Structure 1
Amino acid sequence: MFSSVITADTVSGLRMNTLGDGIFHTVTWLSVLLGLWLLYSRITEARRAVWGSTVLWGWILSGWGWFNLVEGLLDHEILGLHHVRSGPHQVAWDMGFLAIGVIFILGGTTIARRATPIRDETAHLQAME
Protein backbone atom coordinates (compact mmCIF):
# COMPACT_ATOMS: atom_id res chain seq x y z
CA MET A 1 0.00 0.00 0.00
CA PHE A 2 2.87 2.36 0.73
CA SER A 3 5.34 0.90 -1.76
CA SER A 4 6.21 4.28 -3.26
CA VAL A 5 7.01 5.69 0.19
CA ILE A 6 8.23 2.68 2.20
CA THR A 7 10.25 0.09 0.32
CA ALA A 8 9.03 -3.50 0.39
CA ASP A 9 12.59 -4.78 -0.07
CA THR A 10 13.13 -5.24 3.68
CA VAL A 11 11.19 -7.32 6.17
CA SER A 12 10.07 -4.25 8.13
CA GLY A 13 9.09 -2.46 4.92
CA LEU A 14 7.14 -5.48 3.72
CA ARG A 15 5.39 -5.69 7.10
CA MET A 16 4.42 -2.02 6.95
CA ASN A 17 3.12 -2.34 3.38
CA THR A 18 1.16 -5.47 4.30
CA LEU A 19 -0.31 -3.77 7.38
CA GLY A 20 -1.34 -0.71 5.34
CA ASP A 21 -2.90 -2.89 2.67
CA GLY A 22 -4.76 -4.94 5.29
CA ILE A 23 -6.14 -1.86 7.05
CA PHE A 24 -7.21 -0.34 3.74
CA HIS A 25 -9.05 -3.48 2.62
CA THR A 26 -10.63 -4.03 6.05
CA VAL A 27 -12.07 -0.50 6.08
CA THR A 28 -13.22 -0.88 2.48
CA TRP A 29 -15.02 -4.18 3.10
CA LEU A 30 -16.57 -2.93 6.35
CA SER A 31 -17.93 0.05 4.41
CA VAL A 32 -19.39 -2.27 1.76
CA LEU A 33 -20.97 -4.50 4.40
CA LEU A 34 -22.41 -1.49 6.24
CA GLY A 35 -23.90 -0.17 3.01
CA LEU A 36 -25.43 -3.54 2.15
CA TRP A 37 -26.81 -3.90 5.68
CA LEU A 38 -28.36 -0.41 5.49
CA LEU A 39 -29.89 -1.26 2.14
CA TYR A 40 -31.20 -4.63 3.29
CA SER A 41 -32.53 -3.38 6.63
CA ARG A 42 -34.61 -0.62 5.03
CA ILE A 43 -36.33 -2.82 2.48
CA THR A 44 -39.57 -4.34 3.70
CA GLU A 45 -41.23 -5.71 0.56
CA ALA A 46 -40.04 -7.89 -2.27
CA ARG A 47 -36.39 -8.19 -1.25
CA ARG A 48 -35.71 -10.56 -4.12
CA ALA A 49 -36.81 -7.90 -6.61
CA VAL A 50 -34.37 -5.41 -5.10
CA TRP A 51 -31.36 -7.73 -5.25
CA GLY A 52 -32.20 -8.59 -8.85
CA SER A 53 -32.81 -4.96 -9.75
CA THR A 54 -30.86 -3.49 -12.64
CA VAL A 55 -31.03 -0.13 -10.84
CA LEU A 56 -29.15 -1.52 -7.83
CA TRP A 57 -26.42 -3.19 -9.90
CA GLY A 58 -26.04 -0.11 -12.08
CA TRP A 59 -25.42 2.06 -9.02
CA ILE A 60 -23.06 -0.54 -7.55
CA LEU A 61 -21.02 -0.42 -10.77
CA SER A 62 -21.05 3.37 -10.66
CA GLY A 63 -19.98 3.35 -7.00
CA TRP A 64 -17.13 1.00 -7.82
CA GLY A 65 -16.02 3.45 -10.51
CA TRP A 66 -16.16 6.40 -8.10
CA PHE A 67 -14.12 4.45 -5.57
CA ASN A 68 -11.46 3.64 -8.19
CA LEU A 69 -11.38 7.23 -9.44
CA VAL A 70 -11.05 8.83 -5.98
CA GLU A 71 -8.62 6.21 -4.67
CA GLY A 72 -6.53 6.44 -7.85
CA LEU A 73 -6.37 10.23 -7.77
CA LEU A 74 -5.59 10.43 -4.04
CA ASP A 75 -3.31 7.44 -3.46
CA HIS A 76 -1.63 7.17 -6.85
CA GLU A 77 -1.38 10.73 -8.10
CA ILE A 78 -1.70 13.22 -5.23
CA LEU A 79 -0.14 11.33 -2.30
CA GLY A 80 2.00 8.97 -4.41
CA LEU A 81 1.59 6.16 -1.85
CA HIS A 82 1.62 3.44 -4.48
CA HIS A 83 0.93 2.91 -8.17
CA VAL A 84 -1.03 0.33 -10.13
CA ARG A 85 2.22 -1.02 -11.47
CA SER A 86 5.53 0.62 -10.64
CA GLY A 87 8.15 0.89 -13.32
CA PRO A 88 8.79 2.52 -16.66
CA HIS A 89 5.11 2.89 -17.65
CA GLN A 90 3.57 3.55 -14.23
CA VAL A 91 1.81 6.75 -15.38
CA ALA A 92 0.13 4.84 -18.21
CA TRP A 93 -1.02 2.13 -15.78
CA ASP A 94 -2.35 4.76 -13.37
CA MET A 95 -4.19 6.60 -16.16
CA GLY A 96 -5.66 3.31 -17.38
CA PHE A 97 -6.92 2.63 -13.85
CA LEU A 98 -8.54 6.08 -13.73
CA ALA A 99 -10.05 5.57 -17.19
CA ILE A 100 -11.61 2.28 -16.09
CA GLY A 101 -13.10 4.10 -13.10
CA VAL A 102 -14.66 6.68 -15.43
CA ILE A 103 -16.01 3.91 -17.69
CA PHE A 104 -17.59 2.20 -14.67
CA ILE A 105 -19.16 5.48 -13.54
CA LEU A 106 -20.61 6.25 -16.96
CA GLY A 107 -21.71 2.68 -17.62
CA GLY A 108 -23.24 2.13 -14.19
CA THR A 109 -25.05 5.47 -14.20
CA THR A 110 -26.42 4.77 -17.68
CA ILE A 111 -27.61 1.30 -16.65
CA ALA A 112 -29.23 2.58 -13.45
CA ARG A 113 -30.99 5.52 -15.10
CA ARG A 114 -32.37 3.45 -17.99
CA ALA A 115 -33.59 0.63 -15.75
CA THR A 116 -37.07 0.28 -14.34
CA PRO A 117 -37.25 1.73 -10.82
CA ILE A 118 -37.48 -0.84 -8.03
CA ARG A 119 -41.06 0.13 -7.11
CA ASP A 120 -42.20 -0.60 -10.66
CA GLU A 121 -40.33 -3.93 -10.75
CA THR A 122 -41.93 -4.93 -7.43
CA ALA A 123 -45.41 -4.07 -8.73
CA HIS A 124 -44.70 -6.02 -11.90
CA LEU A 125 -43.60 -9.10 -9.94
CA GLN A 126 -46.60 -8.90 -7.63
CA ALA A 127 -48.93 -8.64 -10.65
CA MET A 128 -47.40 -11.83 -12.09
CA GLU A 129 -48.11 -13.87 -8.92
Structure 2
Amino acid sequence: MSPITSPRPTRAPLIAAGLLLGAGLGGFVDGIVLHQIFQWHNMLSNQLPPDTLVRAKVNMYWDGMFHAAVWVLTAVGLGMLWSATGRPEVPHSGRTLLGGLLLGWGLFNVVEGIIDHQLLGLHHVYEYATNKQPADLAFLGFGGLLLLSGWALVRAGRTRRLT
Protein backbone atom coordinates (compact mmCIF):
# COMPACT_ATOMS: atom_id res chain seq x y z
CA MET A 1 0.00 0.00 0.00
CA SER A 2 1.50 3.33 -1.02
CA PRO A 3 1.18 6.44 1.11
CA ILE A 4 -1.18 9.13 -0.12
CA THR A 5 0.79 12.11 -1.33
CA SER A 6 -0.57 15.50 -2.09
CA PRO A 7 0.16 16.89 -5.54
CA ARG A 8 3.09 19.25 -5.92
CA PRO A 9 1.97 22.90 -5.76
CA THR A 10 1.84 24.72 -9.09
CA ARG A 11 0.95 28.31 -9.89
CA ALA A 12 0.85 27.79 -13.67
CA PRO A 13 -2.98 27.47 -13.93
CA LEU A 14 -3.43 30.69 -11.95
CA ILE A 15 -0.87 32.54 -14.07
CA ALA A 16 -2.41 31.24 -17.32
CA ALA A 17 -5.89 32.34 -16.22
CA GLY A 18 -4.47 35.75 -15.27
CA LEU A 19 -2.75 36.10 -18.65
CA LEU A 20 -5.98 35.53 -20.59
CA LEU A 21 -8.05 37.66 -18.24
CA GLY A 22 -5.47 40.45 -18.40
CA ALA A 23 -5.30 40.38 -22.19
CA GLY A 24 -9.09 40.39 -22.46
CA LEU A 25 -9.65 43.11 -19.87
CA GLY A 26 -6.76 45.17 -21.29
CA GLY A 27 -8.43 44.91 -24.69
CA PHE A 28 -11.68 46.12 -23.16
CA VAL A 29 -9.90 49.12 -21.63
CA ASP A 30 -8.39 49.91 -25.04
CA GLY A 31 -11.69 49.52 -26.85
CA ILE A 32 -13.85 51.35 -24.34
CA VAL A 33 -11.47 54.20 -23.49
CA LEU A 34 -9.55 54.80 -26.73
CA HIS A 35 -12.15 53.71 -29.30
CA GLN A 36 -15.41 54.79 -27.69
CA ILE A 37 -14.89 57.42 -24.98
CA PHE A 38 -11.92 59.39 -26.38
CA GLN A 39 -12.62 58.32 -30.00
CA TRP A 40 -8.91 58.50 -30.80
CA HIS A 41 -8.99 55.61 -33.25
CA ASN A 42 -10.95 52.68 -34.64
CA MET A 43 -9.65 49.27 -35.71
CA LEU A 44 -9.04 50.36 -39.32
CA SER A 45 -8.90 54.14 -38.97
CA ASN A 46 -5.41 54.51 -40.50
CA GLN A 47 -6.39 52.39 -43.51
CA LEU A 48 -10.02 53.52 -43.78
CA PRO A 49 -10.57 56.90 -42.09
CA PRO A 50 -14.12 57.11 -40.69
CA ASP A 51 -14.91 60.28 -42.66
CA THR A 52 -18.12 59.00 -44.28
CA LEU A 53 -21.04 57.08 -42.85
CA VAL A 54 -20.08 53.90 -44.74
CA ARG A 55 -16.44 54.07 -43.58
CA ALA A 56 -17.55 54.78 -40.00
CA LYS A 57 -19.84 51.73 -40.14
CA VAL A 58 -17.03 49.49 -41.45
CA ASN A 59 -14.78 50.70 -38.63
CA MET A 60 -17.59 50.15 -36.11
CA TYR A 61 -18.06 46.59 -37.37
CA TRP A 62 -14.34 45.80 -36.91
CA ASP A 63 -14.38 47.47 -33.49
CA GLY A 64 -17.23 45.08 -32.63
CA MET A 65 -15.23 42.09 -33.88
CA PHE A 66 -12.33 43.26 -31.69
CA HIS A 67 -14.64 43.49 -28.66
CA ALA A 68 -16.03 40.01 -29.42
CA ALA A 69 -12.48 38.61 -29.50
CA VAL A 70 -11.48 40.19 -26.17
CA TRP A 71 -14.79 38.99 -24.70
CA VAL A 72 -13.83 35.42 -25.68
CA LEU A 73 -10.38 35.86 -24.09
CA THR A 74 -12.02 37.11 -20.90
CA ALA A 75 -14.59 34.30 -20.83
CA VAL A 76 -11.94 31.62 -21.36
CA GLY A 77 -9.77 33.26 -18.68
CA LEU A 78 -12.71 33.18 -16.24
CA GLY A 79 -13.26 29.50 -17.00
CA MET A 80 -9.60 28.78 -16.40
CA LEU A 81 -9.67 30.74 -13.13
CA TRP A 82 -12.76 28.84 -12.00
CA SER A 83 -11.03 25.56 -12.79
CA ALA A 84 -7.81 26.60 -11.05
CA THR A 85 -9.57 27.61 -7.83
CA GLY A 86 -10.96 24.11 -7.39
CA ARG A 87 -7.57 22.41 -7.57
CA PRO A 88 -5.83 21.69 -4.28
CA GLU A 89 -2.34 21.94 -5.80
CA VAL A 90 -2.94 25.52 -6.99
CA PRO A 91 -2.18 27.91 -4.13
CA HIS A 92 -4.49 30.91 -3.86
CA SER A 93 -2.30 33.98 -4.31
CA GLY A 94 -3.61 37.44 -4.99
CA ARG A 95 -0.15 38.58 -6.03
CA THR A 96 0.22 35.76 -8.53
CA LEU A 97 -3.22 36.40 -10.04
CA LEU A 98 -2.72 40.18 -10.19
CA GLY A 99 0.72 39.61 -11.68
CA GLY A 100 -0.80 37.37 -14.36
CA LEU A 101 -3.45 40.01 -15.09
CA LEU A 102 -0.81 42.71 -15.53
CA LEU A 103 1.32 40.38 -17.67
CA GLY A 104 -1.68 39.69 -19.91
CA TRP A 105 -2.57 43.37 -20.26
CA GLY A 106 1.05 44.27 -20.95
CA LEU A 107 1.33 41.49 -23.51
CA PHE A 108 -1.85 42.75 -25.18
CA ASN A 109 -0.41 46.29 -25.41
CA VAL A 110 2.97 45.16 -26.73
CA VAL A 111 1.57 42.72 -29.31
CA GLU A 112 -1.17 45.11 -30.45
CA GLY A 113 1.24 48.04 -30.49
CA ILE A 114 3.82 46.22 -32.59
CA ILE A 115 1.45 44.42 -34.98
CA ASP A 116 -1.48 46.85 -35.45
CA HIS A 117 0.34 50.16 -34.96
CA GLN A 118 3.80 49.48 -36.39
CA LEU A 119 3.78 46.47 -38.76
CA LEU A 120 0.29 46.54 -40.29
CA GLY A 121 -0.48 50.22 -39.71
CA LEU A 122 -4.18 49.47 -39.15
CA HIS A 123 -4.48 52.35 -36.69
CA HIS A 124 -2.46 54.43 -34.27
CA VAL A 125 -3.21 55.31 -30.66
CA TYR A 126 -4.07 58.91 -31.55
CA GLU A 127 -5.01 58.80 -35.21
CA TYR A 128 -5.63 62.53 -35.56
CA ALA A 129 -2.19 63.74 -34.39
CA THR A 130 0.29 65.07 -36.93
CA ASN A 131 3.01 62.93 -35.38
CA LYS A 132 1.47 59.59 -34.37
CA GLN A 133 4.68 58.02 -33.08
CA PRO A 134 4.82 59.54 -29.53
CA ALA A 135 1.43 58.12 -28.52
CA ASP A 136 2.25 54.76 -30.13
CA LEU A 137 5.55 54.59 -28.24
CA ALA A 138 3.85 55.61 -24.98
CA PHE A 139 1.36 52.75 -25.51
CA LEU A 140 4.26 50.31 -25.99
CA GLY A 141 6.08 51.78 -22.98
CA PHE A 142 2.98 51.36 -20.81
CA GLY A 143 2.77 47.76 -22.01
CA GLY A 144 6.39 47.21 -21.03
CA LEU A 145 5.75 48.74 -17.59
CA LEU A 146 2.76 46.41 -17.13
CA LEU A 147 4.91 43.41 -18.11
CA LEU A 148 7.63 44.34 -15.61
CA SER A 149 5.09 44.98 -12.83
CA GLY A 150 3.28 41.72 -13.56
CA TRP A 151 6.51 39.74 -13.58
CA ALA A 152 7.53 41.26 -10.23
CA LEU A 153 4.16 40.39 -8.68
CA VAL A 154 4.26 36.82 -10.00
CA ARG A 155 7.73 36.42 -8.50
CA ALA A 156 6.54 37.92 -5.20
CA GLY A 157 3.63 35.46 -5.19
CA ARG A 158 6.12 32.57 -4.98
CA THR A 159 7.30 33.61 -1.56
CA ARG A 160 4.02 34.72 0.01
CA ARG A 161 0.71 32.97 -0.41
CA LEU A 162 -2.52 34.78 0.29
CA THR A 163 -5.35 32.51 1.34
- Asked if these proteins are the same fold (TM beyond 0.5), I'd say yes
* Counterpart residue type for residue 70 of structure 1: V
Establish whether residue 33 from structure 1 lines up as the match of residue 82 from structure 2.
no
Q: Could you list the per-position Cα deviations for residues 10-50 of structure 1 after superposition, in whole angstroms to 9, with x for gaps in the alignment?
A: 0110000000011011111211111111221232268xx83
**Aligned to 1:79, which of 110, 116, 120?**
120
Q: 1 or 2, which has the higher helix percentage?
A: 1
Name whichever of 36-45 and 15-24 sits farther off. 36-45
Identify unmatched segments of 5+ residues in structure 1. Answer: 123-129
How much identity, in percent, do the aligned residues show?
Answer: 35
Secondary structure in 2 aligned to 1:83? coil
Task: Report what 1:2 is aligned to.
Answer: 44
Alignment check: 8 A CA contact 1:55 1:117 kept? no
**Aligned to 1:88, which of 127, 130, 147?**
130
Identify unmatched segments of 5+ residues in structure 2. Answer: 1-42
Paired residue total:
118
Give the CA deviation at 1:121.
3.5
Cα distance in 1 between the residues matched to 2:87 and 2:113: 38
Alignment check: 8 A CA contact 1:6 1:13 kept? yes
Q: Could you list the per-position Cα deviations for residues 50-83 of structure 1 after superposition, in whole angstroms to 9, with x for gaps in the alignment?
A: 3x61110111111100011001110011000000
Secondary structure in 2 aligned to 1:65? helix
Alignment check: 8 A CA contact 1:54 1:112 kept? yes
Name whichever of 87-96 and 8-17 sits farther off. 87-96
Cα distance in 2 between the residues matched to 1:77 and 1:100: 16
Cα distance in 1 between the residues matched to 2:131 and 2:58: 25
Cα distance in 2 between the residues matched to 1:2 and 1:121: 43
* Counterpart residue type for residue 56 of structure 1: L
Secondary structure in 2 aligned to 1:4? coil
Give the CA deviation at 1:117.
6.0
What value does the CA root-mean-square deviation take over the aligned residues? Answer: 1.9
Cα distance in 1 between the residues matched to 2:106 and 2:126: 19
